[in-house]
Structure 1
């Protein structure tokens, strides 16, 4: 089974320091939806692993998070793509959960749900914590320079073997070129 794990905010859609709190605020990064569609056409299952601490902070509720994801699903469908599953951590940053990236809990759930070894599975993120969570499970860390990616690159400390790309479309070119 071919898997790719994507962060959401800053990779698929534009990020916001104030959080994406409504479907109206969810706007895809140009080329990201088409990139996901290309992965789907090549036989990849595309999974999203996203911290959504806005739920735990009370900035939006689960119905709103579901509505945001519904907008993403519809936009992807219109572009000929799909996300096969969304894994999210709703907890605030100060919680002691094991699912909030950089902890690998969401990635462990993905491995369990898909009965898959994540060694070498591309994990695309724009922040250090996205890459650390994937690397802890043996994923191949791919940093995109959209979202927080430029700042993440400048701050350094990336997991060993991290590859860098301008955006999700460029990362997908690489993924499809090696399969």
Structure 2
């Protein structure tokens, strides 16, 4: 048991992101894409392994848009929505959500920040303490942009510095633990700010503590920081070469317009093949045509739930896909991203700093081979999908054919070895 089974997560997801409009003009911050997936799914993928069973999204007036995109559940977590019809601020929104969906302990997360802190360690640190609330603190070089948090030797918050003081310091990373007693200071439905109204009052009464970490932190609320979010999630070793992977018939079993997470089935040897590719220092990037969205057969949220199940299955195998890029368009929409057009790979290379010519494209269809040739990558056709299995001689242009991802990994090892030795290797 992780300790999070009785914790309800509350996500402050109601912001449209005034500063972010230039980069993401048509969707709220929670649905802004990072590594090809809406931000909220990265957050939910961090909560699911902890054992969180219930997530309440404080949606402001965006409830319909978020619910349409997320649905009622994700990776075994129940998703609930708390709409506010008038602006309430972070404190008012949280108090209203808690009154509707109370919990023994609340894990509150800002809907516009990223951190790689160990939330399990955070909870274990807080559980024996007497304070009713805790802040997760991260060190930054420009604390003046956010405002510092001051601690005493016992880990209690003693005060907050206003924004503007230059230099490094500890800041709130936007991840809070709150017992019910912390929220009695807020009136459900009344406007209030967590940062300005709740936390200073708790700190003045010695009822607020702070867990200082070495975790990285990023606020995605500006176009500049949002542009850095993908590299932040990938870690310091981003860039370089990648394997661009088709999904259906390559990584998972090809099922007709798959949109139910229960139907996700890893192909034999897929996890091992991906593990071997990652061990070679290659990024693993999914590039998939999902015309069922454009045809109206299912929604983008259904695609993300399928990908959530894929993440879950690969996690169990110790494998992580670095990014997911999909084309949601129907064939007649004349987009630039439907394979074999190069848009998905070009976007991945631009956002992640990847070198297409040093990379590989693997898929089970002729369009995957043509995509690899179009971006000057090395294409590998796997015979695990229906099209490759039924293709006749000369119906594809792949120089490399493999029986599956494990065999493809072996082929890549040979190619990279040849390249290192000065051969062409392709």
Q: 3-state DSSP class of the match of 1:103?
A: coil
1:76–1:82 Cα contact (<8 Å) kept:
yes
1:108 Cα deviation from its structure 2 partner: 1.2
Match of 1:52 among 273, 284, 290: 290
Deviations 1:114-160 (A, max 9, x none): 223311411101001111112101010100011121224x163433x
Q: Hey, what's the Cα distance between the residues in 2 that align with 1:142 and 1:167?
A: 10
Residue 172 in 1 paired to residue 409 in 2?
A: yes
1:41 Cα deviation from its structure 2 partner: 2.6
What's the counterpart of residue 247 of structure 2? Answer: 8
User: What TM-score do you get using the length of structure 1 for normalisation?
Assistant: 0.92
Q: Hey, what's the Cα distance between the residues in 1 that align with 2:308 and 2:326?
A: 14
Q: Hey, what's the Cα distance between the residues in 1 that align with 2:254 and 2:400?
A: 21
Q: Hey, what's the Cα distance between the residues in 2 that align with 1:155 and 1:20?
A: 29
Kindly report which structure 2 residues correspond to 1:65-104, keeping only aligned pairs within 5 A, or say none: 65-104=303-342
What's the counterpart of residue 95 of structure 2? Answer: none
Residue 139 in 1 paired to residue 377 in 2?
A: yes
1:177 Cα deviation from its structure 2 partner: 3.2
Q: Hey, what's the Cα distance between the residues in 2 that align with 1:25 and 1:156?
A: 33
1:175 Cα deviation from its structure 2 partner: 1.1
Flag the 1:126–1:47 CA change in 2: closer, same or farther, 3 A. same
| Structure 1 or 2: more strand by fraction | 2
Pick 1 or 2: higher relative contact order, CA cutoff 8 A, min separation 6. 1
Q: 3-state DSSP class of the match of 1:10?
A: coil
Match of 1:162 among 356, 378, 399: 399
Flag the 1:25–1:88 CA change in 2: closer, same or farther, 3 A. same
Deviations 1:12-37 (A, max 9, x none): 00102x21121112111011012112
What's the counterpart of residue 129 of structure 1? Answer: 367
2:241–2:355 Cα contact (<8 Å) kept:
no
Residue 25 in 1 paired to residue 224 in 2?
A: no
2:357–2:378 Cα contact (<8 Å) kept:
yes
1:50–1:88 Cα contact (<8 Å) kept:
yes
1:166 Cα deviation from its structure 2 partner: 0.7
Deviations 1:46-104 (A, max 9, x none): 00110000111111111111110011111111101110001100001111101001111
1:33–1:75 Cα contact (<8 Å) kept:
no
Q: How many residues align?
A: 176
What's the counterpart of residue 178 of structure 2? Answer: none
What's the counterpart of residue 389 of structure 2? Answer: 150
1:142–1:162 Cα contact (<8 Å) kept:
yes
What's the counterpart of residue 185 of structure 2? Answer: none
Q: Hey, what's the Cα distance between the residues in 2 that align with 1:44 and 1:132?
A: 21
Gap regions ≥5 residues in structure 1: none
Q: 3-state DSSP class of the match of 2:339?
A: coil
Residue 42 in 1 paired to residue 266 in 2?
A: no
Q: Hey, what's the Cα distance between the residues in 1 that align with 2:394 and 2:257?
A: 24
